[in-house]
Chain A
C-alpha cells in the first residue's frame, strides 16, 4: 500500500476498515502504527496529547499481530488498530501517572481489564495520553505535565479531563482512544474536539485497573471519529469482569449493528432544563438543528422534564470530592510513587509527600472531601447529596417512561481559551452542567458533533436508560449517516 493510501486509511477509514485491511493483508499493522507514530512525532509537540509515546511497545505489538496473520490466524476484531490510552488505565510495565507528579515513575505490575481486552482483540497501544491530574478538571490544564491544546484552535483547551484522548483522535494521532468520564470527562472533550465519545452505563465497562477518582462515578469509555468506531471498541471493552464487583454481567449489546438500524419510531425527549438560559446561542441553535434532523429521520420529539437538574452540579461536587479524598489517601510515599526527599518522621513523610505530589485541584478536592465527610457534617453534605442523587436518577427513570432517548447540548459553550477559567474553580465546575446528571444516575450518554461555531465544534449529547447503549448507537449511527459534522478534520 502506498504512503498516500496508508495516510487515507489512517485519517479517513473506520477502525473496522483498518482492522479488515490488516486481517486481509492489504496493510501491515506495523505500517498503521508507524503512520500514526510519524504523525505523533510531527504534531504532538504542539498538541501535547501524549504523556508517553511507547514506540517500541507499539511496534512489538503490531509485529505480533502481523506475525499472527502471516501464520494464518484470523486476527482479532481490532487487529492492528492503533489506539491511545488515557494515562489513567494501568498498563503493565508502562509508566502510568494519572497526570500527577505523585505517580511519576510508577510502573504498574499489572494490566487494566479494558486494555487487556483491547490488546487481546489485536489493538495496538501507541502510548499514554495526557489528562487532568487524577481526571479532575474540564480543560486538561490541571495536568502536572503540561496542558493539551485543541487541534481546532491551539490557543484553546481540548476539554477535560480526557483532553489528550480527545485531541489525539481529533488530530489524527491515533485511530481511537480510551478515556474515563466521571462528570463529563469523555463527553465534554469529545464535544470540544468534534469527535464522538461514549460514557457507558455505570458498570458496563470494567473499572479494574482504572485509577480511581470518584469510584461511584468513574466510567471508562471510548473515543472515536464516529459512532461506528466507538461501537467497535465498546463491543470489545464492555462486559462483566470478575475483578470489578460493580461491573454488569449482562450480555454485551450489538452496538455496530445498532449503528445501522435506523431510528424510525424512536421517541426523542428534550428536557426543558437543558435548554434554559446560560447557553451560548450558537450551541443552542446547533443542538436544536441536530434534534430537528433526528425528527426528519423519523424520530418523534417529545418535551420532558428533569426537575432536579439544578442540583446536579452541587450534588456531583459533594459526591466526587468525598470519594476523591478517600481514593487519594493511598498516595503516601510508602508503596509507590513520589516520596519526599527527606523526612525525619512518618508524619513529615506523609505531609510533605502529599504536598509535593498533588497539584492545586486534587488538594482542593481532598480538603473539600474531608470537610464534607467529617463526623457531624456527613448527613448535611455527603448523605444529603446521595439522597438528592436518588432524586436525579428518579428524574431520568421517569423521563424514560415517556421517551427512548434524550437529546441535549453536551456543553453550554464551545472550547474556551487556555487560562480563561483557571482562576475560578467554580466557573470551571459549571462547564459540566449538562454532563454531571447522567453520571450521577449512571445512565449511558454519548457526545457527537452537530455543528460548528466560529470554527469550533459543537457537541450534541444523547442520554439513554441504563444499558440503553444500543439505542444511543441507533440514533448516533442514523444521524452520522445523514450528516457530515463528524467527518470534518482540523488542519494541523
Chain B
C-alpha cells in the first residue's frame, strides 16, 4: 500500500464475529449440533421449520453467551428478547432467522489484548444470540443443494465498535477474541471450519476528519490470513476510489481468497429491510442477578489476568508471558508445572522450558490439554532436579529429550543411568587438580591475570567428567586452586 494514501486516509474498521457455541444440541431444539453427519440427518421439525414447530431455548447456549459477555465486561441485560429477522434464502428454513435486535443479551464491554507491545482495548457494541443457517452447496447443472444440519446451531454475534484502525489490529483483535472464547470453553473458534466467522465493515476518512466515510461490508472471511488480506485489499480499493474523486458505494462484498479480491454481491433495494419484530414464540429471556453472580464466579482466570500474574508475580518477560497465555492449554500446563506458590526464579525457568522445549515439540499447543509425553508434574520434577543441582542445564536438556521420546520420568533416567550431575567436592577437586597439572602454562597465565582462561579450565574439567560436574562447584574449586 502506498504510504502517501495511508498518510492521507484513516481506515475505520468494525468486525462482526459469529461464534458457534459448543452445545450438544441446537439453540431451539434437541437435534444434535455436531458436525460431520450425513446431510439433513441432524434435523427435526424445528430445524426444518416444519409447519407447527416451535422454538425452545437451550439453556447451555444462554449460559455460554452470558460467560462471554461477563468475560468482556458487557452489561448483561436482566431482560432481553429474541426477534425475527426476515429474508428469503434456501438455507434459512423459516424465511426468518431468530436473532436479537433491539434488546440483545449483552451490551458494551471490550476485548483486551496487547498490540504493538502495549495494552490495548477494543470496545464492543453488543453480543447477541441467534441461530445459524444451513449450508448451500453449489452443484453442477444449474442447481444447488441444501443441507440443514447446521441450521439452528447456536451463535453469538460479537459486534465491535468501529474502533479498529488497521488490518493488523483487526487480526490481533480476532485472535484475542478466539483466545478468550477458547479459555471460556464456549467454542473451538476454528475459522477454517466455520465455528468462528468474521464480517468486516471498512470505511476510510481523511485523517483528522471525525465523520465516518461510507462503509462496505466484507463477507466470507474464513481465516486469520484472509482477515488481514481482505481488509488491506479493501482499504486499497477504497483509497483508490476516493483518490479518483469518486464515491464509495455502501454494499456487501464477498471476499474471494483464491483470487485475492472482493466482489460486489448483487444488492436489491429492499434487501436490507429485515422487518424485525419480537419473536412471539419465545417470551422475554430473564437472566437474574443470581444467575449473573454464579456465572461470574464460574469464570476461569482470563488470559489478560494471567498475563499480569506472570509478568508481575512470576517476573516473566512480556514475550514469554504472551506465548504462555495465548492458549489456555499452554497456560494451564505452565501453571501446573510451577504450582501454586513457586520458589523465586522457578517461574522464569519453567517458562523457558515450556516456551523453548515443550512448545517446540507439539504441533498444536492445545494438545497440552491432553496426554503429552512429559506431563506438567514430570517437567516440574526436572526443574526441581536442576534447582537441587542434580542436573546441569545441559544435562537436563538431554534428559528432557529422552523424557519426551521415551516417556520416562527424569528421576528414573537419573537413577538408572547415572546421568546425574556430580556435585561431590572431592571428585570435582580431583578433576580440577588433574586438569591444572596437565596444563601448567595456562595455570601460570591465569595466575598472572588472564582470568578469561577460566573458561578453558571449566571446559577441560567438563570433558573429563563427561559433562556431569556441577558447574557452580567447578567454578568455586577452580578459583580456590588457582588463587
A108 x B56 contact (CB < 8 A): no
B275 x A334 contact (CB < 8 A): no
A326 x B50 contact (CB < 8 A): no
B93 x A330 contact (CB < 8 A): yes
A334 x B277 contact (CB < 8 A): no
A378: chain B residues within 8 A (beta carbon)? 276-277
A329 x B52 contact (CB < 8 A): no
A-B contact pairs, 12 of them (CB 8 A): A108-B50, A109-B50, A110-B50, A246-B283, A325-B275, A326-B277, A329-B96, A336-B51, A350-B88, A370-B275, A373-B86, A374-B275
B50 x A90 contact (CB < 8 A): yes
Closest to B274 in A: A375
Closest to B95 in A: A329
Q: How far is the CB of B82 from chain A (nearest CB, A)?
A: 10
- Beyond contacts A245-B282, A330-B51, A374-B273: 20 other A-B pairs, Cβ-Cβ < 8 A, are A106-B51, A109-B45, A209-B53, A242-B56, A244-B56, A245-B55, A246-B280, A323-B277, A325-B275, A326-B95, A329-B94, A329-B96, A330-B93, A330-B95, A332-B90, A335-B93, A336-B51, A346-B90, A370-B275, A378-B277
Q: How far is the CB of B458 from chain A (nearest CB, A)?
A: 76
Q: How far is the CB of A224 from chain B (nearest CB, A)?
A: 23
Contact indicator per residue, chain B 257-275, by CB within 8 Å of chain A (1) or not (0): 0000000000000000111
Report if B355 contacts A (CB, 8 A): no
Report if B389 contacts A (CB, 8 A): no
CB contact between A373 and one of B52, B275, B281 (< 8 Å): that residue: B275
A293: chain B residues within 8 A (beta carbon)? none
B283: chain A residues within 8 A (beta carbon)? 245-246
Contact indicator per residue, chain A 92-115, by CB within 8 Å of chain B (1) or not (0): 000010100001001011101000
- Whole-angstrom distance between the alpha carbons of A332 and B90 in the complex? 9
B274: chain A residues within 8 A (beta carbon)? 375
- Whole-angstrom distance between the alpha carbons of A108 and B53 in the complex? 11
Report if A382 contacts B (CB, 8 A): yes
Report if B178 contacts A (CB, 8 A): no
CB contact between A96 and one of B51, B86, B88, B280 (< 8 Å): that residue: B51
A244: chain B residues within 8 A (beta carbon)? 54, 56
Interface-forming stretch among A164-172, A210-218, A304-312, A406-414?
Answer: A210-218
A323 x B52 contact (CB < 8 A): no
CB contact between A90 and one of B49, B51, B146, B277 (< 8 Å): that residue: B51
Which chain B residues in 74-96 approach chain A with CB under 8 Å?
Answer: 84, 86, 88, 90, 93-96
- Whole-angstrom distance between the alpha carbons of A210 and B50 in the complex? 10
Closest to B44 in A: A110
Report if B469 contacts A (CB, 8 A): no
By DSSP majority rule, is chain A's interface helix, strand, loop, or mixed? Answer: loop
B50 x A375 contact (CB < 8 A): no
Q: Which residues of B contact A (CB under 8 A)?
A: 45, 48-57, 84, 86, 88, 90, 93-96, 146, 273-277, 280-283
B88 x A332 contact (CB < 8 A): yes
Report if A208 contacts B (CB, 8 A): yes
In the A-B complex, the 7 residue pairs with the closest CB atoms: A329-B95, A216-B280, A215-B280, A373-B275, A209-B52, A211-B51, A90-B52
Q: Which residues of A contact B (CB under 8 A)?
A: 89-90, 96, 98, 103, 106, 108-110, 112, 207-212, 214-216, 242-246, 322-323, 325-326, 328-330, 332, 334-336, 346, 350, 370, 373-375, 378, 382
Q: How far is the CB of A250 from chain B (nearest CB, A)?
A: 15
- Whole-angstrom distance between the alpha carbons of A242 and B48 in the complex? 19
Q: How far is the CB of A479 from chain B (nearest CB, A)?
A: 34
- Whole-angstrom distance between the alpha carbons of A216 and B284 in the complex? 13
A246: chain B residues within 8 A (beta carbon)? 54, 280-283
CB contact between A208 and one of B54, B94, B95 (< 8 Å): that residue: B54
B93 x A322 contact (CB < 8 A): no
- Whole-angstrom distance between the alpha carbons of A212 and B94 in the complex? 12
Q: How far is the CB of B440 from chain A (nearest CB, A)?
A: 93
Closest to B268 in A: A347
- Whole-angstrom distance between the alpha carbons of A346 and B90 in the complex? 9
B54 x A245 contact (CB < 8 A): yes
A326: chain B residues within 8 A (beta carbon)? 84, 86, 95-96, 275, 277
- Whole-angstrom distance between the alpha carbons of A216 and B281 in the complex? 7
B281 x A215 contact (CB < 8 A): yes
A215: chain B residues within 8 A (beta carbon)? 280-281
Closest to B281 in A: A215
Q: How far is the CB of A133 from chain B (nearest CB, A)?
A: 13
Kindly name the residue among B51, B57, B275, B281 whose own CB sees the greatest number of chain A CB atoms within 10 A: B51
- Whole-angstrom distance between the alpha carbons of A212 and B52 in the complex? 6
Closest to A347 in B: B88
A210 x B280 contact (CB < 8 A): no
Closest to A207 in B: B54
Q: How far is the CB of A252 from chain B (nearest CB, A)?
A: 20
Closest to A351 in B: B88
Closest to B91 in A: A334
B90: chain A residues within 8 A (beta carbon)? 332, 334, 346
Q: How far is the CB of B52 from chain A (nearest CB, A)?
A: 4
CB contact between B50 and one of A245, A336, A346, A350 (< 8 Å): that residue: A336
Kindly name the residue among A90, A106, A243, A370 whose own CB sees the greatest number of chain B CB atoms within 10 A: A243
CB contact between B277 and one of A245, A335, A373 (< 8 Å): that residue: A373
B57: chain A residues within 8 A (beta carbon)? 245
Closest to A335 in B: B48
Q: How far is the CB of A233 from chain B (nearest CB, A)?
A: 19
Q: How far is the CB of B265 from chain A (nearest CB, A)?
A: 14
CB contact between B51 and one of A212, A332, A350 (< 8 Å): that residue: A212
In the complex with contacts A212-B52, A350-B88, A332-B95 CB distance below 8 A: yes
Q: How far is the CB of A275 from chain B (nearest CB, A)?
A: 32
- Whole-angstrom distance between the alpha carbons of A375 and B282 in the complex? 22
A375: chain B residues within 8 A (beta carbon)? 273-275
- Whole-angstrom distance between the alpha carbons of A326 and B88 in the complex? 11
B281 x A245 contact (CB < 8 A): yes
In the complex with contacts A245-B57, A374-B273, A335-B45 CB distance below 8 A: no
- Whole-angstrom distance between the alpha carbons of A330 and B281 in the complex? 15
B275: chain A residues within 8 A (beta carbon)? 325-326, 370, 373-375
- Whole-angstrom distance between the alpha carbons of A214 and B276 in the complex? 15
Closest to B56 in A: A245
In the complex with contacts A323-B280, A326-B84, A375-B273, A108-B52 CB distance below 8 A: yes
Q: How far is the CB of B99 from chain A (nearest CB, A)?
A: 13
Q: How far is the CB of A262 from chain B (nearest CB, A)?
A: 36
Closest to A102 in B: B51
Closest to B45 in A: A110
B86: chain A residues within 8 A (beta carbon)? 326, 329, 373
Closest to A110 in B: B45
- Whole-angstrom distance between the alpha carbons of A323 and B86 in the complex? 12
Closest to A323 in B: B280
